[in-house]
Amino acid sequence: MLAARLHGIRDIRLDSLPDPKEDRPPAGHVRVRIRAVGLCGSDLHYYREGRIADAIIREPTVLGHEAAGEVAAVGDGVTRLKPGDAVALEPGIPCMKCEYCQGGRQNLCSHIFFMGGPGCDGALRELLDWPEQLVEKLPGGVDFDEGAMLEPLGVALHALGLSGFRAGESVAVLGVGSIGMCVIELARASGASKMVAVEPLSLRRQKAVDLGCCRALDPARKNWREEARKTLDGGADLVVECSGNPDAIASIGTVARCGGRAVIIGIPAEDAVSFNPHIWRRSELAVYNCRRSNRTLPRCIALIRTRCVNLKKLISHRIPIKEVKEAFRLADERAEDITKMIITL
């Protein structure tokens, strides 16, 4: 089978890997013929830097963790799914034994097996065996592209949940990549009163406005923080940081209103980021950190089934896996033309 593997920094190759030996997956597992994989900021971190913090890619690794496809075969004991079902995948396999798993915070499991990172091949390949309980059936009328988008939507859902977001609150979204777009789409559907986005790329600023932000500011403008505050009548109730940019993180305290909250989702390329602690302290800014998502896939499916969110309009590019080298090069160099890229198989 074909698989897109990262061999080193900016070295992604379309490799031919052996097909699974058995014609059925192990007991309790589903074999999925992958049809769509979203390209994510974290895939680009591995591509550009070869690592995310201390998670270092040391051997050729199949990237991709935002995946949807079709069930090709099922193992013994699988009852919920059958061949031909269209499905989306929860990308992390937690141990279910540690205190975090037992306490319902499976995304914090230190033994988690997360697809598309060091030691765990991801979804940019034709066939993938995955535990049945981490595979969900897509509702009728939802295509594979939307199925792949449920993973970033899940991160947005987890982040808004952590932050205690309530209908009627105002939101500032820093960084309008795929997570930022999902946050805007979800916050709008959840009753955000006013939303402002901050994003350097003009196409993405336009997208933020299309999705419901009343303003999208360019951080190249010197006074963007003051303008964001003014537009949100004194600052955001909730700031959602989705860029990982150190300047954006340092600006959270200025964009939030006094007594406001922030949730950080963006992954910085740096190992240290500085901010003015006095601004955070004086406003008693509550800062949450979000790591991936925590069993949000069933709720994401409910959101898409009822069409509370529209994930289709977030996608700007669809590129077949045969052109994966070009896809990564484009995502790396020409981000200004791209809102979300889906690799198709």
Which residues contribute to the site for Zn ion (CB under 5 A)? 40, 94-95, 98, 101, 109
Please identify, using beta-carbon distances, which residue of 109 and 285 lies nearer to Zn ion.
109
Closest approach, Cβ 149 to Zn ion, in A, equals 10
Please identify, using beta-carbon distances, which residue of 231 and 245 lies nearer to Zn ion.
245
Closest approach, Cβ 212 to Zn ion, in A, equals 22
Closest approach, Cβ 50 to Zn ion, in A, equals 18
- The secondary element (H helix, E strand) that includes residue 43 is helix 41-49
Q: How far apart are CA 310 and CA 146, in angstroms?
A: 9
Please identify, using beta-carbon distances, which residue of 1 and 95 lies nearer to Zn ion.
95
Please identify, using beta-carbon distances, which residue of 12 and 40 lies nearer to Zn ion.
40
Closest approach, Cβ 179 to Zn ion, in A, equals 7
The answer to whether the beta carbons of residues 203 and 183 sit under 8 Å apart is: no
The answer to whether the beta carbons of residues 193 and 175 sit under 8 Å apart is: no
Please identify, using beta-carbon distances, which residue of 37 and 248 lies nearer to Zn ion.
37
End-to-end CA distance of the chain: 11
> What are the residues facing 3 on neighbouring strands?
15, 125
Closest approach, Cβ 264 to Zn ion, in A, equals 15
Rg (CA), the chain: 20
Cβ contacts of 84-87, under 8 Å, gap ≥ 24: 85/137, 86/137, 86/138, 86/142, 86/143, 86/144, 86/147, 87/30, 87/32, 87/135, 87/136, 87/137, 87/138, 87/147
Closest approach, Cβ 145 to Zn ion, in A, equals 15
Please identify, using beta-carbon distances, which residue of 102 and 306 lies nearer to Zn ion.
102
Please identify, using beta-carbon distances, which residue of 94 and 180 lies nearer to Zn ion.
94
Q: Tokens 């360019």 appear where?
A: 218
The answer to whether the beta carbons of residues 153 and 311 sit under 8 Å apart is: yes
Closest approach, Cβ 11 to Zn ion, in A, equals 21
Closest approach, Cβ 106 to Zn ion, in A, equals 6
The answer to whether the beta carbons of residues 202 and 221 sit under 8 Å apart is: no
Q: How far apart are CA 177 and CA 336, in angstroms?
A: 11
Please identify, using beta-carbon distances, which residue of 95 and 273 lies nearer to Zn ion.
95
Main-chain dihedrals φ then ψ at residue 233, nearest 5 degrees: 55, 50
Q: Tokens 């800062």 appear where?
A: 287
